[in-house]
Structure 1
Amino acid sequence: MVAVCWKLPICFLLCQAVSGGAGRDGHYVAAVYEHESILSPAPAARVERRAALQLMGRNLDIYEQQVLAAARQGAQIIVFPEDGIHGFNFTRSSIYPYLDFIPYSHPGKWNPCREPYLYNDTEVVQRLSCMALQNKIFLVANLGTKQPCERREPRCPPDGRFQFNTNVALGADGALLATYRKHNLYFESAFDTPAQPDHALFDTPFAGTFGMFTCFDILFYEPAVSLIRQYNLKQIVYPTAWMNQLPLLSAVEFQQAFSTAFNVNILAANIHHPTLGMTGSGIYTPVKSFIYHNMESYGGKLIVAEIPVTTADYKTNLESNERFRENLHGSCRTSTSTSLDDEVCFKEQEETAGGVSEKGEGKEQSPPSFYAEMMYDNFTFVPLWGEKGELQVCANSLCCYLNYQKAVLTDELYALGVFDGLHTVHGTYYVQACALVKCGGLSFSTCGQEVTDATALIDFQLWGNMSTPYIFPLLLTSGITLDFADHMGWKNNHYFLSKNRTSAGLLTAALYGRWYEKD
């Protein structure tokens, strides 16, 4: 996961009028910055520390401008992206001059801005600390760090040091509050994985406790899910360098789904490099989002928004999901819906794994099932034919169902797909997915392709007999914009998602399930 370039205007998006630094009672003001890094022209070449600091200083100059701009808009916390300061595509040896030393114990005991003399090689974190202190703002940033070790120690690399992809959280007084070392590395040979997943937390006077993790971590149980579960967190900071992958894993799409699934606020800052498919940042609540996705132009973007401090209690939802799991049955027998409202009226119907059916008004049809690759996985699809219908498609133990009605008839091809298996490309993890997607063209072979525009407005209810309680509801519309479901949740041992009329042409409506135990 990666980024590039240099000339950058100071620009910001004020998403909601705010007044003063404290915000209204029960709300706080957050900022995230999507940054286009100034990169090393030869990241694999070894340079001196001084040259590394000069390059990182150019990125930190931009950070400084954005912290000031955010503070002037009343922001109490700002989040910067992964790889934003040093860049990427380094080797283990070539990244070494870019690494700061960070102590991983005694959080809150060191103020890098006020006590720069305590440790060597801390120039980057010193500047970040001074930005926070001078602007009286909490600041979260990502940098590379090093930690010496004895070669005789277990796991100590041959060069005698650990190298980590690290987030730091700094208080409004400049104190180092928390560090997080990325656990789920994404083809990052320059960095090491910590022996145990970090659970990184820091407290604020305006929104309580925040947790943090990085980029690829969001797809795994450790540390993301375990952190939220153990501490019942409601606020997450999330630096990322995410390459968008449609139709199910674009940055803003999955960030919003994670916020909705766990009932948390997420402050997500992505790197900006459209030529690598990298964009998509936002401030998310379970019911509203303030996002930036731009594949057309270059430069950074500051997002500032006022959001509520509290969200619904995740523990209650989790306990409900786990009670659901206890009642799961392994068969694919279930039902189809006869209404698009939240009642989800089920009726029995014959099904076979891998089979499909569609029922239209006054007659039964059997559209053909077909296979197509979507995001490197072999999905089983069935096409949507006609103005309305009821579909089902099954694979292994998972059956997916769709009740739909097209509000506007277009010549676009849509299909309902199912996948229940281990994803093995660019990471290994088990997925259960029910997905309604717009195809790239009018032939079946185009289903699963990356599509960014659509015109069809569809009323739908989508559901499946998921075997995991961890379901991420995706709802993406034309132009990579977000929509919110009218109703979602568990009913009759199925997870459902319903929407009466999307706000724009539908790209993706999906239930993306992660079955962590089968990774």
Structure 2
Amino acid sequence: MLRKWCDGISSLTAGIEAIGSKFPQNMGPLFVNIFLNSLLAIALQAFGSQASDINDSHFVAGVVEFRPDFIGLTTEQLIAKHTDAYIEILSSPEALETDIVVFPESTLNNEFNTTYVPAPEEAIIPCLLANQSSRYEYYLIALSCAARDNRKYVIINLTEKEDCAANAAVDPRPCATNGLNIYNTNVVFDREGRVISRYRKVNIYVERKNTTYQPEFAIFDTDFGVRFAHFICFDLLFYTPAEELVAKYGIRNIIFTSMFASETPFLTAVQLQQSWAWGNNVTLLAAGASYPQSGATGSGIYAGSSGSLVSAMIGNSGVRQIYVAKVHKFAEKSPYTTAPETHTTAAAQPQTGVRLLRDPQLDNFNSQLLQLNASSVISVELCTEMLCCSLIAETTTTENSYGNGTTSDAYQYRFGVFTGRRSYEKEQYSDVAICAIYACTDDTVSSCGLLFPANTTIMPKFAFKRLQIEGSFQKTERLLIMPNTLDFSFYSLQPAQVAWNLADKSKSYDAEIALKASADNLLAFGIYANYYDSSSGAHKYCSSMLILSTSVLLWIGAYATDLLYVYEIL
């Protein structure tokens, strides 16, 4: 109803703008803004009761895929444009019915214009301090006002500064000579524009930022009866705080801000988001920065083991768009039992113009090239020292083709098993165990995880009529086992297409993933396990002096795609 109402006033708005053009030069825009703001106020007053409350079985969430600006702007201009674009999205007809809106990582400000952020226990509404204090930067105040004006919970990510002296009692580490800590920080506003939660990133990926002396766990409650926790990008791959919030604190609704660098074949953005939500059976609201040239894209809303409600992997130049879904609430600590609404995805060809990483351990898998044709039935078992996995596959003919290029080709597949350590950057690594098939452009190991050029039409020689992978994973205290799938459009298969079973044995978990329907468009299909007990996050304790000495080079790098990719991609 609200959306129809907003659509209905579009022609009225055009008429008002035409009238405004007849006013004197400085009065026309003022007249138009006053009129449109009045319309918005009337709409919110008339339909304010539409906000979800504690008795509703669902709430409405929005996640924003946001393309940042970089080139040809001063810092002030850049932040002003981003702030205006955030506010425009929050005030848009698409966002009108939302209770909570999440913006992505690193798309608002930068190290050259940082802001203080009030502690949640202070219960400060920055919007009300606009004419009283210069402590908070205008963009924090403006977005507090936007949350207040639009009556929404709003989550933003920004670069925060903190006086070291204010934290000296709990952090004995040396401080920079300028007296500041610099953090990668999530900020949560309630419907009044009040800061009710703040989280400073724990696992830093190629960023010159500080971390807190002890990891933070950011949890907040809403007036519609849902408790959320939130964290940032690279955190998703480690136990603290991401998995710990689920396993130790029992949080079932997670907010995730990111500027994520997708890696084939198992860790592209939407693929990982859905796998993590499914493996934990939690709601995940994931907002991604949209800068495909550097590898950043991927947003979605996920309903645990019921799959994705909406997701987006964007190619080419990126977008600024909100994706909205009605999200059913969990019963008290119970798994999802309600099927999601119709799953939707963005229609883009995400591999076009997206910079992709490749799993550095893929060459070290114990793997076997699958000799498949249009009518094959095969059974394979492969082992490492710690893990044995089995594959059963049956193929059939296919008539599908993908792409619109001038040449055609077909992927080949390997079945691979891996256990051990995989690195990210220097001291950052995870211990993982994987059983999966993955696509290769030819019969060599080095071609696996690579894609055919964008102008290639993919002509599959067969479809998987049956595909089943099983593995027995050694049990440890801190472990997450996830289904992991990826198709040619860089989306994951949904529960209607995939059967997933995890059986708890005395000393192991027996995992099984199987196709429910024929598929000829797979890039990856298998089981991905994260062994957190022996994994390590980023080097935690960056010094503020290091931040200051490198920030100029980093800012220059932000104007070049390759250096931007290194600068702050997670």
TM-align CA RMSD: 2.7
2:70 alignment partner in structure 1: 39
1:518 alignment partner in structure 2: 534
CA positional deviation for 1:385: 1.8
CA positional deviation for 1:296: 3.0
Amino acid corresponding to residue 187 of structure 1 in structure 2: V
Q: For each residue in 1:330-375, what CA deviation from the matched residue of structure 2 results, as whole angstroms up to 9, or x when unmatched?
A: xxxxxxxxxxxxxxxxxxxxxxxxxxxxxxxxxxxxxxxxxxx961
2:440 alignment partner in structure 1: 439
Secondary structure in structure 2 of the residue aligned to 1:213: strand
Q: Specify whether residues 409 and 441 from structure 1 end up closer, same or farther in structure 2 by C-alpha distance, changes over 3 A only.
A: farther
Separation in structure 2 between the aligned mates of residue 429 and residue 181 of structure 1, nearest angstrom: 21
1:170 alignment partner in structure 2: 189
Amino acid corresponding to residue 105 of structure 2 in structure 1: E
> Could you tell me which of 224, 227, 239 is aligned with 2:257?
239
1:418 alignment partner in structure 2: 417
Separation in structure 2 between the aligned mates of residue 186 and residue 311 of structure 1, nearest angstrom: 35
Q: Specify whether residues 434 and 313 from structure 1 end up closer, same or farther in structure 2 by C-alpha distance, changes over 3 A only.
A: farther
> Could you tell me which of 65, 68, 71 is aligned with 2:88?
65
| 8 A Cα contact 2:291 2:317, kept in partner | no
1:141 alignment partner in structure 2: 156
CA positional deviation for 1:294: 1.6
Secondary structure in structure 1 of the residue aligned to 2:286: strand
1:124 alignment partner in structure 2: 139
Q: Specify whether residues 208 and 67 from structure 1 end up closer, same or farther in structure 2 by C-alpha distance, changes over 3 A only.
A: same
| 8 A Cα contact 1:73 1:304, kept in partner | no
CA positional deviation for 1:52: 3.5
| 8 A Cα contact 1:211 1:233, kept in partner | yes
> Could you tell me which of 300, 309, 312 is aligned with 2:320?
300
Q: Specify whether residues 105 and 278 from structure 1 end up closer, same or farther in structure 2 by C-alpha distance, changes over 3 A only.
A: closer
Secondary structure in structure 2 of the residue aligned to 1:465: strand
Establish whether residue 500 from structure 1 lines up as the match of residue 489 from structure 2. no
Establish whether residue 384 from structure 1 lines up as the match of residue 363 from structure 2. no
Separation in structure 2 between the aligned mates of residue 296 and residue 457 of structure 1, nearest angstrom: 29
Separation in structure 2 between the aligned mates of residue 177 and residue 504 of structure 1, nearest angstrom: 47
Amino acid corresponding to residue 484 of structure 2 in structure 1: L
Q: For each residue in 1:32-80, what CA deviation from the matched residue of structure 2 results, as whole angstroms up to 9, or x when unmatched?
A: 11111112659xxxxxxxx634321110100011111266541111000
Establish whether residue 113 from structure 1 lines up as the match of residue 113 from structure 2. no
Q: Specify whether residues 444 and 144 from structure 1 end up closer, same or farther in structure 2 by C-alpha distance, changes over 3 A only.
A: closer
Q: Specify whether residues 314 and 22 from structure 1 end up closer, same or farther in structure 2 by C-alpha distance, changes over 3 A only.
A: closer
2:7 alignment partner in structure 1: none
Amino acid corresponding to residue 59 of structure 1 in structure 2: H
Establish whether residue 477 from structure 1 lines up as the match of residue 492 from structure 2. no
> Could you tell me which of 191, 194, 203 is aligned with 2:221?
203
| 8 A Cα contact 1:81 1:141, kept in partner | yes
| 8 A Cα contact 1:488 1:498, kept in partner | no
CA positional deviation for 1:443: 3.6
1:406 alignment partner in structure 2: 395
1:185 alignment partner in structure 2: 204
1:225 alignment partner in structure 2: 243
Gaps of 5+ in 1: 1-18, 43-50, 88-94, 317-372
Separation in structure 2 between the aligned mates of residue 479 and residue 35 of structure 1, nearest angstrom: 20
| 8 A Cα contact 1:232 1:314, kept in partner | no
| 8 A Cα contact 2:201 2:232, kept in partner | yes
Q: Specify whether residues 475 and 314 from structure 1 end up closer, same or farther in structure 2 by C-alpha distance, changes over 3 A only.
A: farther
CA positional deviation for 1:21: 3.3
CA positional deviation for 1:157: 2.5
Q: Specify whether residues 199 and 416 from structure 1 end up closer, same or farther in structure 2 by C-alpha distance, changes over 3 A only.
A: same
Separation in structure 1 between the aligned mates of residue 316 and residue 332 of structure 2, nearest angstrom: 36
Amino acid corresponding to residue 441 of structure 1 in structure 2: D
Separation in structure 1 between the aligned mates of residue 199 and residue 155 of structure 2, nearest angstrom: 11
TM-score normalised by structure 1 residue count:
0.77
> Could you tell me which of 445, 469, 491 is aligned with 1:462?
469
Q: Percent identity?
A: 27
Separation in structure 1 between the aligned mates of residue 435 and residue 371 of structure 2, nearest angstrom: 18
Gaps of 5+ in 2: 1-48, 337-356, 400-409, 536-570
Q: Does 438-447 or 55-64 show the bigger shift?
A: 438-447
CA positional deviation for 1:313: 4.0
Secondary structure in structure 1 of the residue aligned to 2:176: coil
Amino acid corresponding to residue 490 of structure 1 in structure 2: A
CA positional deviation for 1:466: 1.4
CA positional deviation for 1:207: 4.5
Q: Specify whether residues 450 and 245 from structure 1 end up closer, same or farther in structure 2 by C-alpha distance, changes over 3 A only.
A: farther
Separation in structure 2 between the aligned mates of residue 402 and residue 202 of structure 1, nearest angstrom: 44
Q: For each residue in 1:137-179, what CA deviation from the matched residue of structure 2 results, as whole angstroms up to 9, or x when unmatched?
A: 1100000111111498621322321110000010011110100
| 8 A Cα contact 1:415 1:436, kept in partner | yes
Separation in structure 1 between the aligned mates of residue 129 and residue 290 of structure 2, nearest angstrom: 33
Separation in structure 2 between the aligned mates of residue 390 and residue 145 of structure 1, nearest angstrom: 54
Q: Specify whether residues 161 and 211 from structure 1 end up closer, same or farther in structure 2 by C-alpha distance, changes over 3 A only.
A: same
Secondary structure in structure 2 of the residue aligned to 1:58: helix
Secondary structure in structure 2 of the residue aligned to 1:470: strand
TM-score normalised by structure 2 residue count:
0.70
Separation in structure 2 between the aligned mates of residue 213 and residue 36 of structure 1, nearest angstrom: 20
Q: Specify whether residues 448 and 421 from structure 1 end up closer, same or farther in structure 2 by C-alpha distance, changes over 3 A only.
A: same
Separation in structure 1 between the aligned mates of residue 299 and residue 448 of structure 2, nearest angstrom: 27
| 8 A Cα contact 2:89 2:95, kept in partner | no
1:281 alignment partner in structure 2: 299
Separation in structure 2 between the aligned mates of residue 374 and residue 132 of structure 1, nearest angstrom: 39
1:448 alignment partner in structure 2: 449
CA positional deviation for 1:133: 0.3
| 8 A Cα contact 1:229 1:315, kept in partner | no
Establish whether residue 488 from structure 1 lines up as the match of residue 501 from structure 2. yes
Separation in structure 1 between the aligned mates of residue 395 and residue 184 of structure 2, nearest angstrom: 47
CA positional deviation for 1:22: 2.6
Separation in structure 1 between the aligned mates of residue 58 and residue 417 of structure 2, nearest angstrom: 40
Secondary structure in structure 1 of the residue aligned to 2:64: strand
| 8 A Cα contact 2:120 2:195, kept in partner | no
Separation in structure 2 between the aligned mates of residue 195 and residue 488 of structure 1, nearest angstrom: 39
Q: Specify whether residues 314 and 244 from structure 1 end up closer, same or farther in structure 2 by C-alpha distance, changes over 3 A only.
A: farther
Amino acid corresponding to residue 417 of structure 2 in structure 1: V
| 8 A Cα contact 1:257 1:474, kept in partner | yes
Amino acid corresponding to residue 295 of structure 1 in structure 2: G
CA positional deviation for 1:115: 2.9
Q: How many residues align?
A: 427
Q: For each residue in 1:442-489, what CA deviation from the matched residue of structure 2 results, as whole angstroms up to 9, or x when unmatched?
A: 444322335696845322111212125411211111211221322321
1:327 alignment partner in structure 2: none
| 8 A Cα contact 1:31 1:78, kept in partner | yes
Separation in structure 2 between the aligned mates of residue 259 and residue 311 of structure 1, nearest angstrom: 17
Separation in structure 1 between the aligned mates of residue 393 and residue 108 of structure 2, nearest angstrom: 47
Amino acid corresponding to residue 206 of structure 2 in structure 1: F
Q: Specify whether residues 311 and 445 from structure 1 end up closer, same or farther in structure 2 by C-alpha distance, changes over 3 A only.
A: farther
| 8 A Cα contact 1:247 1:507, kept in partner | yes
